[in-house]
Chains A and B, each alone.
Chain A
C-alpha cells in the first residue's frame, strides 16, 4: 500500500506546464517593454547587460575593421599622395578664414561686452569613433566608443566636419548611442540662414528631413541652408544641419511640405565630435498674467497648508 500514494519518479518532473511558463514570460516581456518605452527606468539593467554584450559586439566587429585596415594598407602610395595633396589644398582654402578667426572671436567678445550682451558660448567637445551602426532596422542610431568613462551624458549633440549628425540618447559605461537627425521624428530647432526664419526640422526615417508646420506661403526656397538656431538648451547656434531640396506648396493644405537633405555625412562611418553640454540657459521670463494668477493661487494654498 505504501507504494500507491508515492509521488511520481523525478523522471516525469518537467517543471511548470508550458502554457503557465509562456504566460509568465509573456507577462514579463510586455511589462519590460512598456516600462522601457514609457518610463525609461530600466536603463540600469540595460547598462549592466551592455557590460556583457559590448565586448562581444566589439569582437564581432573586429574582422570587418581588419578588412578595412588591410584595404587601407594596400591602398597604395599614389592614392595616399593624392589624398594628401587634396587635404593640403583644402587646408589652404580655409586658411584665410581660420587665421582671422581668433581675431574675430576676440573682437566679437569685445563688442558683445560693449553692448552688454551675454558672451558667445565656446564650442568644445571630444572626438569619438563610430564603432558600428545599431542593428535595429526600425531606427537610425550609431554606437560610438566614448561613454560614461569619458563623461558623456545623454542629450549632448554630435557633429562631424560638415554639420550636425545627431544627439546622444543613451550612455553606457564604455560606449554611447547616438540617434541620427534622420531618425524618425528626431527634431532639431533650426534657422534659415537667408532670412533668419526659425523652425524645427524633423527626421523622416528614410535618410531625409522635413521642415514641418511652415505656412504654404512661407519664404523657403530650394537650396536654403538650415543652421541650428540655439533656441534650445542643446545645440549651439550656427551649426549647419540641412539643405532644402524640395518644396511642395499645395493650397489644399495649410502647411507646405518641405524636404531637406542632411549636410553632414550622417549615414557614413567615421569620426565625429561630441560637443559638451551647453551652459544652463537663463530662467524663462515671468509667465503671462492669467497663468501667473493661477500660480499665485497655488502658492497661497501651499502656504495655507503650512
Chain B
C-alpha cells in the first residue's frame, strides 16, 4: 500500500459519514487540510495585521509583503479597475499556496492535487469573469472573440479558435495546477520508493534525486500558486479592459 505512489492521493473519511440528502459531505483528510490551510492563513494574517508599528516585526512584514506582492501583481496585469477583486485574488493565491506548501510536508495530503478542487476554483473564476465581462460590456463582450486587424477571410476560423480557447480556460487552469501537483508528488514518492527498494547500496542516487526534487517541488508549489493567481488576473483583465 505504501509503495503505491498514488496512494498518497487517497481521500478517506475522518469520523462518521455525513449525508445531506443524496450527497456525502463527510469530513475527510482533504477537508482537514483545507481547514488547516485556511486557519493558518487567517492566523498568520491576523497576527500580521494586529499591531501597526512603524518598524514591523517579522509576521507583520510577512503579511504586508504578501499584500503588496499580490496588489502589485493585480495592478500590473489587470490595472486599477481590478481593485474590488483584490480580496478574492489574494485569498485564492494564499489558499493555493498554502495547500501546495502543506502538501510538501511528508505524510500530508495535497488538496490541490485533486482535479475536482482545482476545477471548482477554475470554474468559479471562469463563470465569475464571464459574468463580470457581460455586466461591464453587455454583448460587446463578445468582441473578445473577434480580434482586430485580422483579414476577413481568416475571421471565421479565428473566431472559432478564440471561442475554443476561451472555453478551455477553466480546464487548462485547473489541469495545470492539478497535474503539476500530482506529477511532482508522484515523482517524489517513486524516488522515495527507489531509495527503499535499492537499499543501502543503490539508494543514494535516488535519495539525492529526492532531495533535489523536494527543492524543485517547493519552487513549483509557489510557482503554480503564482501562475494560478496571475492567470486569474489576466482573465479578469480581459473582462475589465476589453481592448479588441
A, B in one complex: no
State the A residues within 8 Å of B (CB).
Answer: none
